[in-house]
Amino acid sequence: MNLLRIITLFCLCWPFSVGAVTELNIAAAPHAAISLANVVEVLEDPSGKLTLDDVTNGAAANRFVVSDTDQLNFGYSTSVHWARFTLAPYDNENLLFEVAFPLLDYVDFYYVYKNNNHIQNVHQRAGDKLPFSARPIEHRFFLFPLPEQIIEPTTFYLRFESEGANQAPLKIWRQIDYLKTAKDHSLVYGLYYGIILVMALYNLFLYLYVRDRIYLAYVCYITTFCLVQATLNGFSYEYLWPYWPWWASQAPTILLGVVSFFAFDFARRFLTTPHLLPRLDRCMAILMYLCLLSVGVTVLVSYTVGTNIVTLLAFSLACTIMTAAVLVLRQGYRPARYFFLAWFGFLLGIAINCLMYFGLIPRNALTSHALQVGSALEVILLSLAIADRMHVLQEDKMFADKQLHKQTIEHNQELERKVARRTRELQDAKDTAEQISQELEKTNTLLTILASRDSLTNLLNHRAFVQQLQTSLSVAQRYRYPLCLILLDMDHFKRVNDLYGHHAGDAALIAVGDVLSDHLREGDLGARYSGEEFILSLSHTDLDEGLKIAERLREAIENIDMAKYPQAQLTASLGLAVYIPEHSVSEYKELIRQADDALYRAKQLGRNRVCA
């Protein structure tokens, strides 16, 4: 147990060790970046409450430990960290102190020195949560000018904190050396971003030309990735949003979630995983939308939580897409070769970068630029992959066109043979077809008639009558002539069925139907409206004429001879309603309702009568 504690303590303290303060002799330093390894001392402040007085004169001043590297990397630590270093006296030096990590939230730089026998206290502050113009030198990294002269050993203090990765690569530069190095770096970065933007524009034009959405997915992916790189390198805050400190502090994690979303989208489209790997594609789709969820977590919950989530999603991105590329490649999809090589180099860069941000591997020139190298290689290889994909699609299209042409010729020949044979058959069957057509026409006519007729009385049925009544009423409205509607109901019809059975009732209904048919004129309509109800529509008939016709119908029904059924004396009650242009309603339903009201009054008055 004690051995385990010793090993754990050693791992936590490495690469830091306690030692005496070492002065750095600037005059003897070479003309290049001046390393602070074995000179800088660090102190962790988990509470974040230590002040400058605490770390200079208090008990905390004795807790600094010497670091054997100037690439300070504490991973995703929520603690505040202090660093200090001491410079030996120097004269006439234009020096810059550089903190080469642009994503720190707050960076405070303190020192006290004598100038012309006057003691000066200097406090300079910067950070991506402060406006860009607040920096002592407006540069993507944090640059602090050092005094041109110090006449006695001077200790400098650096306090830095961040909700994300807590790193502080420290260097001291002579100003002329830094300007030369910055110029070389600008050339390299310009070449890097130029490659990505040129490829983005090229593929955007291809999308506008061929309308293949994979080009648009690729453009979205590499454009957002270029923006992520510019943000991680500090260029975005310097050139794109120098007045938006809140966005500058949130942008790295938010943009990383967005670019992961587009990476999954592009990979799914390129590898056609919905068709080739449906199960893995569902997993990729879930991870894809979790990337957007991490953006919401970053903005609404916590930047630290969102950063941890999106970093883990980046690892999942690497594993999932590489797995999909291998599986698709094993299925014989040729463009997946370039895709696999492109993502292997790029994801290796992502893995190295993530391990560096978590503090699991040290920060150096290789680990801090692994993502740029891998992404540049990826952009070039993915362009080759898309070109190879288009070549494969063209080959498949040519092969399909040849097969289609061959099949078309064979199909046309077969079709000509079938047409010739069918023509002979049709010629032979022409007479038969004409006969069948005539029979079908007769049958359709008969079916139409049957569909509109009552099977017992051969009058119109309810539905057919209503349809024709609407037409008759429209014509009466147009030509302005009266139309009479007669609704007829058999009196005590149930007694006929009760005395003699339904066959007697059917005979009575048939007899009534014959009476109505005999009294219908050309242009009139007659129908069996329901069980023992009948309805008639009489065109060009006013109220007086309608009453006369109704009375004749009532008398004819009363005189029906039911000799076989002596007790089945038939009578009927009739209700009239007349449409008169400009003096009554024009809706057929209202006309039927008025006739029904008149019929009801006839029944109330003792039946076997006509009411209007």
Q: Render pLDDT for 1-10 as a digit per residue (tens, 0 to 9).
A: 333 333 333 3
What 3-state DSSP class applies to 602?
Answer: helix
pLDDT beyond 80 at 579: yes
Amino acid at site 7: I
Q: Render pLDDT for 238-248 as a digit per residue (tens, 0 to 9).
A: 899 999 988 88
What are the tokens at 403?
């097969």
pLDDT on residue 11: 36
C-alpha to C-alpha distance for 15 and 252, rounded to whole angstroms: 28
Spell 226-247 as b/e; 16+ CB within 10 A means b. bbbbbbbbbbbbbeeeeeebee
The beta strands (E) that lie in 343-494 are given as: 483-490
C-alpha to C-alpha distance for 137 and 139, rounded to whole angstroms: 6
- Give, as one character, the DSSP assignment of residue 509: H
Q: What percent of the residues of the chain are helix, what percent strand, and what percent coil, each to the nearest 5?
A: 60, 15, 25
pTM: 0.57
C-alpha to C-alpha distance for 136 and 173, rounded to whole angstroms: 16
pLDDT on residue 86: 92
pLDDT on residue 356: 67
* Averaged pLDDT score across all residues of the chain: 82
Which range is least confidently modeled, 333-342, 350-359, 568-577? 350-359
pLDDT confidence of 82, banded at 50, 70, 90? very high
pLDDT on residue 316: 83
Between residues 567 and 285, which one has the greater pLDDT?
Answer: 285
Which range is least confidently modeled, 51-60, 226-235, 416-425, 474-483? 416-425
What is the pLDDT averaged over residues 191-206?
A: 85
pLDDT confidence of 188, banded at 50, 70, 90? confident
pLDDT on residue 10: 34
C-alpha to C-alpha distance for 91 and 384, rounded to whole angstroms: 56
Report the percent of the chain where pLDDT is more than 70: 85
pLDDT on residue 597: 93
pLDDT beyond 80 at 359: no
C-alpha to C-alpha distance for 529 and 465, rounded to whole angstroms: 8
pLDDT beyond 60 at 196: yes
pLDDT on residue 3: 35
What 3-state DSSP class applies to 437?
Answer: helix
Which range is least confidently modeled, 13-17, 199-203, 425-429, 586-590? 13-17
15 preceded by a cis bond (ω within 30 of 0): yes
| Alpha-carbon distances, residue 298 vs 244, 289, 292, 354 (angstroms) | 17, 14, 10, 18
C-alpha to C-alpha distance for 199 and 386, rounded to whole angstroms: 12
What is the pLDDT averaged over residues 391-420?
A: 73
pLDDT on residue 121: 85
Give whichever of 251-260, 332-341, 356-365 has the largest mean pLDDT.
Answer: 251-260
Q: Render pLDDT for 526-558 as a digit per residue (tens, 0 to 9).
A: 898 888 899 999 988 998 999 999 999 999 988
pLDDT beyond 50 at 12: no
pLDDT confidence of 566, banded at 50, 70, 90? confident
Q: Render pLDDT for 135-186 as a digit per residue (tens, 0 to 9).
A: 999 999 999 999 988 888 899 999 999 887 888 999 999 988 888 888 888 8
Q: Give Cβ neighbours of residue 581 (< 8 Å, ≥ 6 apart).
A: 476, 477, 480, 481, 482
Return the closest-CA partner of residue 532 out of 591, 499, 572, 559. Answer: 572
Q: Render pLDDT for 260-291 as a digit per residue (tens, 0 to 9).
A: 899 889 888 888 888 888 999 999 899 888 88
What 3-state DSSP class applies to 525?
Answer: strand
pLDDT on residue 593: 92
Which range is least confidently modeled, 4-8, 260-264, 415-419, 487-491? 4-8
pLDDT on residue 19: 42
pLDDT on residue 415: 83
Report the percent of the chain where pLDDT is more than 90: 21
Q: What are residue 67's DSSP bridge partners?
A: 16
C-alpha to C-alpha distance for 305 and 315, rounded to whole angstroms: 16
Q: Render pLDDT for 90-130 as a digit per residue (tens, 0 to 9).
A: 888 889 999 999 989 999 999 987 766 667 788 999 999 99
What 3-state DSSP class applies to 581?
Answer: coil
Query: Is residue 527 within 8 Å of residue 534, measured between CB atoms?
Result: yes
pLDDT on residue 21: 52
